[in-house]
Amino acid sequence: MKKIMLCLLLITLLSNFNKITENPEKPKLIIGIVVDQMRYDYLTRYYHRYGNDGFKRLLNGGFSLENAHFNYIPTYTAVGHTSIYTGTTPNHHGIIANNWYDKFLKKSIYCVDDERYLPVGTDSKNGKKSPHRMFSTTVSDQLLLAQNMSGKAIGIALKDRSAILPVGHTGTAYWFEGGDKGNFITSSFYMKSLPKWVVDFNNKQKAQFYASKTWNTLYDIKSYKNSTADNSIFEGVFKGELTPTFPHKLSNLKAENGNLSIISETPFGNSITLDFAKATIIGEKLGKSNETDFLSISFSSTDYVGHKYGVDAIETEDTYLRLDKDLADLLKFLDKQVGADKYTVFLTADHGAVRVPAYLDSLKIPAKYFDAKKFKTFLDSVSNKNFKTTELVENMSNYQLFLNKEKITSLGLKVDEVAEIFANELVNFETINKAVTAKTLQNSNFTKGILNVLQNGYHQKFSGDVMLIPNPATISGGRTGTTHGSGFSYDTHIPIIFYGNGIKKGVSKKHYEITDIAPTIANLLKIEAPNSTTGKIIEEVFK
């Protein structure tokens, strides 16, 4: 009898095990977190200062990819968010920058502007937006399609592009309007009027609350050993401040710094994003239905702070220490609201950043500034020397030359030959590392190195005729603060951490690319990957 009972018990256990392995319970909510301008080394540099419940909880309880990179140029915000959620690069999804020159319209365009739609929640043009320039589906699009359009996909951020592009064509997006408003708004692409919970949130005037605060260091300023001195010549300042030093009293500064927009350039912009994320989860009952929901959160203030102060500033370190607390708050909220084992998080960044070139130069490390006026003079001299005219370049932007094809043809010249001459000559400019023609990118297959990532970012229909790559640690702009956009490691090396339902604990030092996130999440959910995906499934993250 005992043997029979044991056999029956074994059969039951095996049956249940098979059911679990064949049909594991899917997460009720996917949360994609993008930290704008987060270099990978912000995880390691500040690790000993983080608490146990934010970044450390994700690292110690989840799976971290220590050698993950972007695989295209340019590493800009719109391109990053799109590539993360589509699982492919600009040559497929079509978002080639934040702004770019439209050679058909003969003007510069913005990635999510769309005059066909009306603003919702505001009377300004800031709501005339949509994802129509993105050609690919996102992983959240695929989730809703797989569920016969049941479930919800919502994107939130301070920046419109960071809210809109992640949730693709079928989700809903909300973004922050600063100035005198201080509200989260949307577009008629998504809805006719704001839901009551959004109106209620806006009525709480959280932006006014944060804009009245004083930004001081979270801890004793002497403890910020990972950063340069507070009063550094390599940091920018708010208008109305004489030095880039703590404390920053926002109530005295906001009038000269965009009024309520000022919170975007402080850690409080991340805090209001967290507040709105919580309100979204409650207001939309995310994670409570029979289907899987999707929430995309982009913390944008890290980017604004980085641009102003640079990689090595106390302001940057303090922003990440405060973000760590916000992440801890979010995870605890998810535990309570959704259930500790019922959600899956991935955290990454849309690009990194270079150390302030002027600071590097002060240390005798090669670093320069691209002088656009000087380059234009050089460009004109090349054009005059070879073609006796300076009218062959229609536009230069994002380190791309767009040639005036009509003018070239009228002079009896060939576009490809003109482009080749420009490429051969312009590489001799002092801060240019490489110059490549569109024809070269169309007819060659670069499998590694800087030309491979350039090729991944080249879109035959939209990109220019000559692509320029500046030297490492070379940027456009002033001598304070930082920026991004290159294909070098400081811009491409970012964190990728998976955590929660279906994810095991672990670390990998293998090379992965940002385009691997979307197919991995799709595989976790047992759905089709986005329709232009070129990334691969990261098998080792799964239980």
Catalytic residues: 77
The type of residue at 8 is L
Cβ atoms of 476 and 33 within 8 Å: the answer is no
Query: Which of 518, 508, 516, 494 is closest to 35 using CA atoms?
Result: 494
Distances (CA, A) of 197 to 193, 200, 272, 278, 346: 12, 5, 15, 11, 26
Query: Which of 187, 340, 179 is closest to 264 using CA atoms?
Result: 179
Cβ atoms of 87 and 512 within 8 Å: the answer is no
Query: Which of 445, 451, 458 is closest to 79 using CA atoms?
Result: 458
- Phi-psi category of 492—alpha, beta or left, where left has phi over 0 and alpha has psi -120 to 50? alpha
Rounded distance between C-alpha atoms, residue 218 and residue 322, angstroms: 7
CA atoms within 13 A on the CB side of 249: 5
Rounded distance between C-alpha atoms, residue 433 and residue 469, angstroms: 5
Cβ atoms of 127 and 119 within 8 Å: the answer is yes
Rounded distance between C-alpha atoms, residue 358 and residue 64, angstroms: 33
The DSSP code sequence of 405-416 is HHHHHHTT--HH
**Torsion angles phi and psi, residue 236, rounded to 5:** -80, 175
Query: Which of 391, 309, 294 is closest to 353 using CA atoms?
Result: 309
Cβ atoms of 170 and 149 within 8 Å: the answer is yes
